[in-house]
Chains A and B, each alone.
Chain A
Amino acid sequence: MALLEVKDIHTYYGAIHALKGISIHVDEGEIVTLIGANGAGKSTTLNTICGILHPGEGTITLDGQPIHELPAHEIVMRGVSQAPEGRRVFGRLTVIENLEMGAYARSDKAGIARDMERVFALFPRLKERAKQVAGTLSGGEQQMLSIGRALMANPRLLLLDEPSMGLSPILVEAIFDTIRQINSQGTTVLLVEQNALMALSIASRGYVLQTGEIVLHDTAAALQENEMVRKAYLGIE
Chain B
Amino acid sequence: MAHTGWVLTSEWTKIRSVRSTLWTLAAALVVTVALGMLISFLVRQSYDDLSREERLTFDPTFISFAGTSLGQLAMIAFGILVVSNEYSTGMIRASLTAVPQRGVLMGAKLVIATALALLVGMLTSFLTFFLGQAMLGDHRTDLGEPGVLRAVFGGGLYMGLIALFAMGVTWMLRSPMLSFGVLIPFFFMISSILANVEATEKIGDYLPDQAGSRIMAVIDDGERPYGPWTGLLIMLAWVAASLLAGYVVLKRRDA
A and B: bona fide binding partners: no
Interface residues of A (CB under 8 A from B): none
